[in-house]
Chains A and B, each alone.
Chain A
Amino acid sequence: MSILEPACYLLFWILVPPLLPGIINRVKAKVAGRQGPPLLQLYYDLCKLWRKNIVLSTLASPGFLIAPTVAWVATLTAAMLIPLAGAGNINPFDGDVILMVYLLALARFCTAWGAMETGSAFEGMGTAREVSFAVLAEIGIITAMLTLIMHSGSITLVNMFIPLSGSNATLLAIGVFILLLAENCRVPFDDPTTHLELTMIHEVMVLDHSGPPWALILHGAAIKLMLFAIILVQIIFPVSEMPLGQSLLWLAGGVLAVTIAVGLVESLIARLAFRRVPLLLTIGFLFCLFPLLLTWMGMSYE
């Protein structure tokens, strides 16, 4: 394996993800009948933020700058573990799926650490909510992965995505879509366009960041959205057995469809009442649990 291959993956994961929030915003604008921001808005924002200065809270330690950086590295490393359709991933090994889930947890730890640095009631509230609801989200993710593992008989991410039966794939896709919305702080769990409401979860945690660290947080969020979208697409269309070019096209189309679906959900549904959030997360978990049980029963009757 040459140095070129990892570099390609790295470039892909750095350059492509900021496109997704742009697509979502365009969909929302179209549904609302507005012109909307340019598709590449996030790229402009990131470049602008990278040149800006930082306003740091007087209470913040150096950890306030380190935490978003580590979170970004962790998210990026997690993303590198995800197989890209026929292209696979760089260094697959047994149990890389657990490493991926825990790298996302590391990113969460760092974001929460940064939020606690500022000593504000608002950000403390967001952190408390984020880490509490993350418990439910994490159960869902592990259950979804267990379904794939039980079905495919492999604990390596590259080999995990093989075709599920129609009903199982539908159930699991609904569950993972709910988790995608929750983990990426989209409507109906959270609203990425506002920071000012008391029902916020994730977005209040990053209120005090500015300049380059804020750029890393925005970029990390885009990577995470892309990561979940790619997992979701490969659950529905396991494209890894197609020829390379075709599978990548399918993957790109699928990710686009998921992104549009997120945009449509955001345009058509209002944010959930705060006390309902655990309920919806539990429903997401159940949508992942049923295919697990069905897979187990189906396979043990064979």
Chain B
Amino acid sequence: MYEIITPILLLSFLCAMIGSLAAITLPRVWTILTLIALMSAFGAGCFVLFTHTSWQWESSFSLSETPVFLQLDALSSFFLLLLAVVAIAGTIYARSYWPDSRYPHSSVQGRLWWNLMLTGMVLVLIASNGLYFLLGWELFAVSAFFLITLDSHNPQVRNAGWLYLAASHAGTIVLFAFFTTLAVHTGSWELGPVTHLPELKPLFWLALLGFGIKAGIFPLHIWLPSAHANAPSHVSALLSGVALKIGMYGIIRFSGWLPLPTLAGWVLAGAGCTSAVLGVAFALGQHDLKRLLAYHSVENIGIILMGLGFGIVALEHGLPYWGILALAGGLLHIWNHGLFKALLFFGAGAVLQTTKTREMSTLGGLWRCMPWTAGLFALGSLAICGLPPLNGFVSEWLIYSGLLTASTLVTPLSLGAATIAVLLSITSALALACFIKVCGVVFLGAPRSRQAENAKECDWNMRTAMLVLAGACVTIGLLPTLVWPVLMRVASTWSPSALPNIPPALISLGNAHLLLAVLGVVTVLGMLVFVRNKIHRAPTWDCGYVRPTPRMQYTAGSFAGIITAWFSSILRPVTYQLRPTTFFPVKATDISHTPETVLKYLIQPVGRVFIVLGDLATSFQHGRIQSYILYLFMALLVLVGAVTMVHLW
């Protein structure tokens, strides 16, 4: 049955490789080949998910006596589908966003590394062998570095790239340790369930650390804001929508395969709560549109972990119904976040392309010039805030259902569940505040600068990419029952028995969403028709707003001021004020800015210690040959002394 997948995946691989050759001179051929590659990968993923098969392929080709062993099961296909959809949208988007006409050199590199990064991620997803997993992981990590630094003339971009590379390799080192320890204990590089070896329990923490850096769990997220902000927007979308999820894939995969330590579920859920609340708090403090979206990735990874972590807690209780709901919610949020976050990054890219700035407080009133972008961005905002009837709400609702059902049990677990539920509600209320800020400051009101006034709508390639993702968001929102069988297939990673029917509540929720959508559309259309002849235009009234200027509007900083003040002990915002001190009006300034606090107060001090140690070491290396001979002589003496001592013993 599953033999058909081999040629499909081979076709996908060949198209991706030939596509990367074509990327050099034939951009149109590149687009077509990459799209074919992604669509066939999509097809393979759908085939596995909907026919209850899984695909395995072992080659005679081997590297250091390890044969290539590939496997596409439900979990890999789940991530493969997300990768394919976001990358299809990204490929179309990149045609207009990073065209040859504007970036003659880096556009070629961009296409080449794009294909290599996708290949690397797919290899990670289908590798069933530690060695090839690491190879794919490195290919993906390094090509992501080159994609982030496409605009390498800009020093900020280069810094972001280096930070990413350093963090990513710190993660790789941990993963090397993880995979080699695993291989030593199991005797081969082959990956598979090892739950029968309880001595491997501590390895889970190693996996969590290594994959957690890639997934951007707070406080391992330090590379994420600057990399996402400075990468070209189609790359940001792929990084945030898919690359972070590859880290999640690692965590999920090995939480199913490794024997789990007792507290694993609670630690994951706790990390999720921290990431979610602090991620959105940091997002509120940002004035840079893409940086803000990047912090929301930290938040959403947190929401995913809340669901998954609590589901893993449930595993210890035999995976009751509430655990399945929480797991399903966490899994669905992986797709949902990939879809709406890519949509939002595409929207931010469209704004950035025409206005040349990511600084929100210089924008404003963009809906007039960019109605498509504004509308689609608003849809993405509603989805990311978890509002009905869109997809974000479906996954949050599933997580809530799991948590609330668990809180009816009268055990200490129910207090834990209640706490997570309250934190989830804080997160989504903060996200709502943050996206009102973004939409209001960027798209609504009056333009604050000339660039904002003369913005241009993006072209049809970019709009198509956004429409594809928006369509997916609406579909999952209105027809949530469609995805339930898929989620249950994936949940069998943990427990093969987890295949219950569609919960009746989910069907009711789907109906409620459809009803709400129909009612909303009908009422809105009715309203617009009813008032079409009744509208007069006048300046904003606002209790007698005599001489309005765009600079009087609330800015990104002032809007979030109340909440950033609540969190100031963690966010540590930097403010600079120049107050007028005389009686007559003079120039005054107030600048506030929220830095990456973990990087600034935790990682950088530690890094400085290493730099000081390194400086000390360089003082031994000064080019005076006499001293070098002295070192040799002393080393020899020490060696002779040591050998003699050993012998005497």
Contact = CB atoms under 8 A, between A and B. Distances in A.
Interface of A: 52-59, 61-63, 65-66, 69-70, 72-74, 77, 91, 93-99, 101-103, 105-106, 108-109, 112-113, 115-125, 127-129, 131-135, 138-139, 141-143, 146, 149-150, 152-155, 195-196, 207-208, 211-213, 216, 278, 292, 296, 299-300, 302
B623 interface: no
B425 A142 contact: yes
B378 interface: yes
B524 A66 contact: yes
A77 B516 CA distance: 7
Most buried by B among A66, A73, A146, A300: A146
Interface string B339-361: 00000000000000000000000
A275 B174 CA distance: 48
Contact of B401 (A155, A195, A212, A292): A155
Contact of A53 (B397, B437, B534, B541): B534
Contacts of A138: 425-426, 428-429
Contacts of B562: 128-129, 132-133
A112 B562 CA distance: 16
B266 to A, nearest CB: 18
Most buried by B among A58, A132, A150, A207: A132
B417 to A, nearest CB: 9
Given A53-B536, A74-B516, A113-B378, 13 more contacts: A58-B538, A63-B444, A73-B520, A91-B508, A98-B400, A101-B425, A103-B516, A105-B429, A109-B436, A117-B445, A119-B553, A135-B433, A208-B540
Contacts of B367: 61, 63
B545 to A, nearest CB: 6
A270 to B, nearest CB: 22
Given A53-B534, A95-B401, A120-B548, A139 B426 contact: yes
Given A113-B436, A149-B408, A212 B382 contact: no
Contact of B365 (A102, A119, A127): A119
A95 B401 CA distance: 6
B414 A94 contact: no
A64 B566 CA distance: 31
A102 to B, nearest CB: 5
A54 B408 contact: no
A139 B531 contact: no
B8 interface: no
A77 B433 contact: no
Contact of A69 (B439, B504, B508, B524): B524
A109 B405 contact: no
Contact of A105 (B368, B387, B426, B531): B387
Contacts of B523: 69-70, 72-73
A154 B408 contact: yes
A208 B539 CA distance: 10
Contact of B537 (A56, A102, A143): A56
B646 to A, nearest CB: 64
Interface in B527-544: 527-528, 530-531, 534-543
A138 B428 CA distance: 9
A300 B414 CA distance: 11
Nearest to A302: B410
B404 A95 contact: yes
Nearest to A150: B407
Most buried by A among B404, B437, B439, B505: B404
Given A54-B534, A95-B509, A120-B548, A143 B540 contact: no
A101 B388 CA distance: 10
B433 A119 contact: no
Nearest to A209: B541
B542 A208 contact: yes
Given A77-B516, A93-B509, A119-B553, A102 B538 contact: no
B2 interface: no
Given A63-B378, A300-B411, A120 B436 contact: no
Given A127-B554, A134-B429, A102 B524 contact: no
B535 A54 contact: yes
A65 B436 contact: no
Interface string B499-537: 000011100110110011001100110011011001111
A116 B401 contact: no
Interface string B411-437: 100110010011001101110110111
Given A73-B516, A94-B505, A146-B422, A102 B561 contact: no
Most buried by B among A97, A195, A296: A296
A96 B503 CA distance: 13
B550 interface: yes
The dominant DSSP class at the B interface is helix
A61 B365 CA distance: 9
Contacts of A120: 540, 542, 545, 548, 552-553
B334 interface: no
11 contacts: A53-B535, A54-B535, A63-B367, A73-B523, A105-B432, A106-B388, A116-B439, A121-B552, A135-B563, A155-B405, A212-B531
A39 B379 CA distance: 41
B536 A55 contact: yes
B598 to A, nearest CB: 23
A200 to B, nearest CB: 10
Contact of B445 (A59, A299, A302): A59
Contacts of B542: 118, 120, 122-123, 207-208
Nearest to B381: A109
A113 B404 CA distance: 30
Contacts of B435: 109
A132 B536 CA distance: 33
B393 interface: yes
B393 A153 contact: no
Nearest to A115: B440
Interface string B85-102: 000000000000000000
B295 interface: no
A246 to B, nearest CB: 29
A129 B559 CA distance: 8
Contact of A108 (B414, B418, B432, B519): B432
- Top-8 shortest CB links A-B: A124-B554, A116-B440, A119-B445, A93-B508, A131-B433, A94-B505, A132-B562, A120-B542
A138 B326 CA distance: 21
B410 A296 contact: yes
A292 to B, nearest CB: 7
B430 A135 contact: yes
A208 B408 contact: no
A58 B537 CA distance: 6
A227 B130 CA distance: 57
Contacts of A296: 410, 414-415, 418
Interface in B432-470: 432-433, 435-437, 439-441, 444-446
Given A61-B367, A91-B512, A207 B432 contact: no
Contact of B404 (A98, A106, A108, A124): A98
B181 interface: no
B430 A57 contact: no
Contacts of A123: 542
A207 B545 CA distance: 11
Nearest to B389: A106
Contacts of A91: 508, 511-512
Nearest to A118: B540
B385 interface: yes
A299 B408 CA distance: 10
B386 interface: yes
A124 B385 contact: no
B374 interface: yes
A20 to B, nearest CB: 23
B561 A54 contact: no
Contacts of A72: 523
